[in-house]
Structure 1
């Protein structure tokens, strides 16, 4: 991890959580409600957090771009339809 930067990379957080997961038995472990799911690999909560972050980290950002582009296209088409309906005397009230 970069000690000089306040922003910690997600990969670094995932690695730290996985390292911390094996350090069970601290006061945090007492009565968390998930201790029955802990195993030899360590704390169930920390392992799940690392897993979820890992899944989010693999999200393909091009999906967001593609969806935004499609939404813009649909909004443009909607405006064109409203204009066509308005010119036909329909009032342009479509949702």
Structure 2
């Protein structure tokens, strides 16, 4: 049972002094039409703890410390080094226009560092070895950096985000044409 469900269930209990459910706890003088004093106190304290230490509150505090948003912080926990990341590719006007698959390497602030899949290297160790060699031999390596909100764990999610952008763009064009 989730905290919200527990609070709702406790608030729904209608235990009044003298009823069969009343245990005669000694606090009956504080009970009345609003229900059992002990149950009401439990609800108040659980609600207070949930507001202070619930998942949403802790997430907001952590995001504030890391100077990011809760959404970006949640997004950043989705990837491990070596995972495939699907990224919204943007055009010269910074509008998402395509999606691309990359290997996730690391987080840096509010961005992810990724690399294209290279040859037969579909594993993290092989890919890192390739980049180490390229850096040592050619003083170059092909890493890309994207903002966290443009990165998705599933291709379908990235495609849905791209489709949503395209739909908004189409709607904006229709509204502009209707105004003229």
Report the TM-score when normalising by structure 1.
Answer: 0.51
Which residue of 5, 27, 33 corresponds with 1:12?
5
Point out the structure with the larger helix share.
Answer: 1
Residue matched to 1:50: 43
Does residue 32 of the first structure (1) align with residue 25 of the second (2)? Answer: yes
Report the TM-score when normalising by structure 2.
Answer: 0.28
Query: Take 2:3 and 2:23, find their aligned partners in 1: how far apart are those partners?
Result: 27
**Which blocks of at least 5 consecutive residues in structure 2 are unaligned?**
66-180
Point out the structure with the larger strand share.
Answer: 2
After TM superposition, the runs of 4+ consecutive aligned structure 1 residues lying more than 2 A away are none
Specify the structure having the higher radius of gyration (Cα): 2
Q: CA RMSD in A?
A: 2.1
3-state secondary structure, aligned to 2:7: helix
* Count of residue correspondences: 56
Give how far 1:14 is off: 0.5
